[in-house]
Amino acid sequence: MKAGEVLPPLEVPVTRTLIVAGAIASRDYQDVHHDAELAREKGSPDIFMNILTTNGLVGRYITDHFGPTAVLRRVAIRLGAPNYPGDTMVLMGEVTEVEFGDDGDTAQVRVIGKNGIGSHVTGTVTVTVPAVPAAPAPAAPAAPAVSEEGSPS
């Protein structure tokens, strides 16, 4: 990892199922996340994704790139244009800073997620990739077993 490293984009299809499942999983029962008619009554053209689902998708984006041992230390995001069903959000990121340490390397990553109407999410993520312990030196090969007659078996 190095400053200036650009993460490959991740396209996330924004489906009704993703929006509703994310709201339920995060216990966000606001009607604007599952009831299109009530969302329209409140001025929205349709249901839209909640911030906790977006937060989870940003976390997934970072750990998909840095690997299963990556630890999210801080996620600071801000929402912009809503994610509506039928759109696609494209997450993009760039490493802006790296600190190298004995216990692992920590990076600051600037993240942006855009959809068809603008920037849905912007922010920064601090992620640590733990150091990989040094592999033990290979053991010396075992001596061949010797039979009672004194020859190798």
Q: What is the pLDDT of residues 79-120, one digit of tens each?
A: 999 999 999 999 999 999 999 988 899 999 999 999 999 999
What is the average pLDDT value for the chain, to the nearest integer?
A: 92
Whole-number pLDDT of residue 102: 87
Q: How far from 28 is each of 49, 80, 101, 106, 113, CA to CA, in Å?
A: 10, 19, 38, 32, 21
- List the structure tokens of 108: 């600051």
Residue 150 has pLDDT above 60, yes or no: no
pLDDT band at 153 (very low <50, low <70, confident <90, very high): low
Question: What CA–CA distances, in Å, run from 81 to 32, 63, 105?
Answer: 15, 24, 33
The reported pTM is: 0.83
Phi (first) and psi of residue 16, to 5 degrees: -60, -40
DSSP run (H or E) holding 140:
none
